[in-house]
Amino acid sequence: MIGAASRIGFMLIATLVFIGTGCSSNASLKQSSKPSSKEAARLATLERAYKADQALIKAAMMALQKEDNTTLIAKKKAWIKKRRQQQAIKKKKLLQARKYQLAQIKKQRRSNFSSHHQPKTRKVVWRTNQPHILTGDYASNSAAQAFIKRMSRSYNMDHYYLNNIFSQARNLKLARLTATPKKSQKRKTYSRMGRWSRYRRYFITPRHVNGGVNFWKRYSAVLNKAYQQYGVPPEYIVGILGVETIYGGNVGKTRVLDSLSTKAFHRGRRKKFFSNELEKFLLMAQSEGLNPTSLMGSSAGAVGLCQFMPSNFRTLGVDYNRNGSCNLWDPVDAIGSVANYFSKHGWRRGGPVVVRAHAEGSAYKKLKSGYKRKYSLQRLASKGITPQGKMDSTVRFLRMSTHVGDEVWLGGHNFYVITRYNHSDMYALAVHQLAQEVKRRYQGVVRVASR
Ligand SMILES: [Ca+2]
């Protein structure tokens, strides 16, 4: 996928820092997962009662220190003891209520998937009768002015309307400069040893696996239809959506208009690339009836459950529920689009993806690892490598570093196709392993249900 480099950067570095610290939930998710007002009121009452007790005990302890009368000291000590016992009961109730509330939030998150992220499709008239000049962060930015002029000429878009949209666009570089600086965190440095173990840990989690099983159950008919049509098994579509956005639970926290404008209108290595993405983004919003000022995505401008760059949307997006609009925030359209993406990149129906290999001796250690290079099985056999399963005759040799030594894997043609989504061996192997884990669990659930 185009734009993968920036995403790989995010995967390799940012995930280690951010996802691990639990930033993957987003604001709208939290909003929709609020417990009911009755529960919240009960929790607040318990908290108040507990704190009031704490204050009373503290005051009594202070008074006790000043007391000389031994009878009164004994009485006060007894009172404090009793109060502490009562407080312990209150604390237990409070902890139970908090636990219950947390469980409710988690339950709601699991059942919500992406419905709350899905932007409304509506007919937006891309025209305004009011003359509008360009104001805001890009008021005097010549690149922004030239871009608006070009869009207006090439696609007959209303100049005033575009001025209005880009007056609302924020320059994220400027926002970062004016923001209150965060406490500097010492960045951890990691050795290459165990790189794959660390990467894997972020994507093969109970949340990814359980979410995948639930997603599969809910969209099994659509996933089967995509399998029939494009030949891509359900587990790999689920694997991609899980690794990319946890099935819509984390579609990005940045407004796409802001991220793409910032990268397109300022000097930078990939200015031209992002200017093209911004163009495709506006065309997508216009053709699909989406409001460009409200769509959220990744900091690189990737959109929807499948995190397509806007240029990929134009060529590979599919309106899979046939409602007249390809909306990548809609799980059904996202499923069709991922299957189409794989199919257009040459996915072979029924072909093997990747298998573990047995390694003997040390001759194989001199071979170059990675999806870029192909080896014949014969050549690998001469270096002591034997696949532990069905494989293509030419393969990608993968040496993945874990905490307890290297794992050797052999990737087939379909493994290479997964790397077209994101140019990374670790990414593709994580998709494969999540896919297999979800499949194993899903089939178990289906077996039990059919008994
Ligand atoms: Ca649709």
pLDDT for 25: 34
What are the residues whose beta carbon lies below 5 Å from ligand 1 (ion)? 319, 321, 323, 325, 333
Instruction: Say how many Å lie between the CA of residue 285 and the centre of ligand 1.
Output: 13
Instruction: Say how many Å lie between the CA of residue 228 and the centre of ligand 1.
Output: 19
Instruction: Say how many Å lie between the CA of residue 327 and the centre of ligand 1.
Output: 5
pLDDT for 14: 39
Instruction: Say how many Å lie between the CA of residue 280 and the centre of ligand 1.
Output: 18
Residue pair 306/422 in contact (Cβ under 8 Å)? The answer is no
Instruction: Say how many Å lie between the CA of residue 288 and the centre of ligand 1.
Output: 9
- 354-450: in CATH 1.10.530.10: yes
pLDDT for 29: 34
What's this model's pTM, rounded to 2 decimal places? 0.73
Instruction: Say how many Å lie between the CA of residue 321 and the centre of ligand 1.
Output: 5
pLDDT for 104: 76
Instruction: Say how many Å lie between the CA of residue 366 and the centre of ligand 1.
Output: 49
Residues assigned a catalytic role: 244
pLDDT for 114: 46
User: Domain ranges in the chain?
Assistant: 40-64+75-105, 354-450
pLDDT for 181: 66
Instruction: Say how many Å lie between the CA of residue 332 and the centre of ligand 1.
Output: 7
Instruction: Say how many Å lie between the CA of residue 164 and the centre of ligand 1.
Output: 28
pLDDT for 108: 63
The pLDDT tens digits of the residues spanning 367-386 come to 999 999 999 999 999 999 99
Residues of the chain under the 70 pLDDT cut: 1-36, 106-117, 120-124, 180-186
The one-letter amino acid at 196 = W
